[in-house]
């Protein structure tokens, strides 16, 4: 069985107050859901402790980025093992903002995935094409390359248990434009076939959709057979909307 996940990426937003109000509300509203959703909150690293104390073990917590090294003289970086030690269960790797703004390459993504998995964190590995790549008919090839190179170090069955893929078309992130459920399903099926070709237990790897998922479009996306949940940016900061998205998983 694949994990069904709704993860909220706060990006560089939030505060101690938001951690208290939003996480407490999400915890109380999603606790009784019977759709098997695992709710993950991914705040800025400074608020992980605040979120953990509100989550009280009912919600999982993740970190938005980790270093590509285990430890040492890397001022400002967070080691994978530290994220685990602090109570995180998830880490985002290769978010398009990290790739575009901070120059994160496929090779860096691969190193981070390898370290995350070794630290028993579940890596949510983000992949997705730009608008130019989609218009040039290269979307599936670009995403396949990102999946193959980002996950190159993952070989063992136990390691695949700590990998989630998030398909996030770059043109849909924070833009209000969403892939149609049909286009997203086509890409998710393509990702699953790449995973199979890599020797992964492809039917057990969760593939999330991200990119302007809102309360009013989540149900259509989540109804597709290869979409196992969502990675939510903007809407994860609005408590009622985020809860409604969690409820949209069938
Ligand atoms: C994201 O940050 O991963 C994301 C999908 O953002 P948004 O939902 O705001 O498009």
**Total count of domains within the chain:** 1
Is 174 part of any known ligand binding site? yes
Nearest CA to ligand 1 atom 3: 233
Rg of the Cα atoms in the chain:
17
pLDDT at 34: 87
Of 38, 95, 97, 133, which residue is the catalytic one? 95
182 among known catalytic residues: no
Q: Which atom of ligand 1 is nearest to the CA of 92?
A: 3
**CATH label of the domain that carries residue 108:** 3.20.20.70
pLDDT at 182: 97
Write out the two tokens for 33: 């859901």
168 among known catalytic residues: yes
| pLDDT tens per residue, range 88-125 | 999 999 999 999 999 999 999 999 999 999 999 999 99
| pLDDT tens per residue, range 2-56 | 999 999 999 999 999 999 999 999 999 998 888 889 999 999 999 999 999 999 9
Q: How far apart are CA 184 and CA 190, in angstroms?
A: 10
DSSP 170: G
Q: How far apart are CA 4 and CA 208, in angstroms?
A: 8
- Which of 244, 245, 243, 249 is CA-nearest to residue 24? 243
| Residue 88 belongs to domain spanning | 4-247
Its pTM stands at 0.97
The helix/strand/coil state of 17 is helix
ipTM of the complex: 0.97
pLDDT at 94: 97
Residues sharing a CB contact under 8 Å with residue 190, sequence separation 6 or more, in sequence order: 140, 143, 144
Compute the distance from residue 156 Cα to the ligand 1 centre, in Å: 30
Of 38, 97, 129, 168, which residue is the catalytic one? 168
Q: How many residues does the chain have?
A: 250
Question: In this structure, are residues 58 and 29 in contact, taking their beta carbons and an 8 Å threshold?
Answer: no
pLDDT at 33: 86
Q: How far apart are CA 52 and CA 31, in angstroms?
A: 15
- Which of 245, 158, 161 is CA-nearest to residue 209? 245
**Which of 7, 11, 99, 215 for a ligand 1 pocket mutation test, highest count of atoms within 8 Å of Cβ?**
11
| pLDDT tens per residue, range 201-234 | 999 999 999 999 999 999 999 999 999 999 999 9
Q: How many CB atoms lie within 10 A of CB 21?
A: 13
Question: In this structure, are residues 45 and 76 in contact, taking their beta carbons and an 8 Å threshold?
Answer: no
Higher pLDDT, 190 or 176: 190
Any idea which residue has 């076939």 for tokens? 193
Compute the distance from residue 212 Cα to the ligand 1 centre, in Å: 6
Flag whether pLDDT at 67 surpasses 90: yes
Nearest CA to ligand 1 atom 6: 233
Percent over 90 (pLDDT), the chain: 96
pLDDT at 31: 86
Is 72 part of any known ligand binding site? no
| pLDDT tens per residue, range 159-175 | 999 999 999 999 999 99
Ligand 1 lining (C-beta closer than 6 Å): 9, 11, 168, 173-174, 210-213, 231-235
Q: Is 180 exposed, middle or buried (0-12, 13-18, 19+ CB in 10 A)?
A: exposed
pLDDT at 111: 98
Flag whether pLDDT at 1 surpasses 90: no
Q: Which atom of ligand 1 is nearest to the CA of 230?
A: 5
Residue 143 CA to its chain's centroid (Å): 15
Q: How many CB atoms lie within 10 A of CB 245?
A: 28
Is 233 part of any known ligand binding site? yes
- Mean pLDDT over 179-198 rounds to 97
Mean pLDDT of all residues belonging to the chain: 97
- Mean pLDDT over 151-157 rounds to 97
């Amino acid at each position: 069985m694949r994990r069904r996940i709704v993860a909220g990426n706060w990006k560089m937003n939030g505060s101690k107050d938001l951690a208290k109000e939003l996480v407490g509300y999400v915890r109380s509203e999603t606790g009784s859901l019977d759709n098997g959703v695992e709710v993950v909150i991914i705040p800025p690293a400074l608020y992980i402790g605040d979120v953990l104390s509100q989550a009280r073990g009912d919600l999982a917590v993740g970190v938005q980025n980790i270093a590509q090294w285990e430890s040492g003289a890397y001022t400002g970086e967070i080691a994978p093992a530290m994220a685990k030690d602090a109570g995180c269960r998830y880490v985002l790797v290769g978010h398009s903002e990290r790739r575009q703004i901070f120059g994160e390459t496929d090779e860096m993504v691969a190193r981070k995935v390898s370290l995350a998995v070794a630290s028993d964190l579940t890596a949510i590995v983000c992949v997705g094409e730009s608008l130019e790549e989609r218009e040039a008919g290269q979307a599936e090839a670009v995403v396949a390359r990102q999946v193959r190179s980002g996950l190159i170090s993952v070989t063992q069955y136990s390691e695949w248990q700590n990998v989630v893929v998030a398909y996030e078309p770059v043109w849909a992130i924070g833009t209000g434009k969403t892939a149609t459920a049909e286009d997203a399903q086509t890409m998710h099926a393509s990702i699953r076939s790449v995973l199979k070709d890599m020797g992964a237990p492809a039917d057990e790897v969760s593939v999330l959709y991200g990119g302007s998922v809102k309360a009013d479009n989540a149900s259509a996306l989540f109804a597709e057979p290869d979409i196992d949940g969502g990675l939510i940016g903007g809407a994860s900061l609005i408590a009622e909307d985020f809860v409604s998205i969690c409820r949209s998983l069938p």
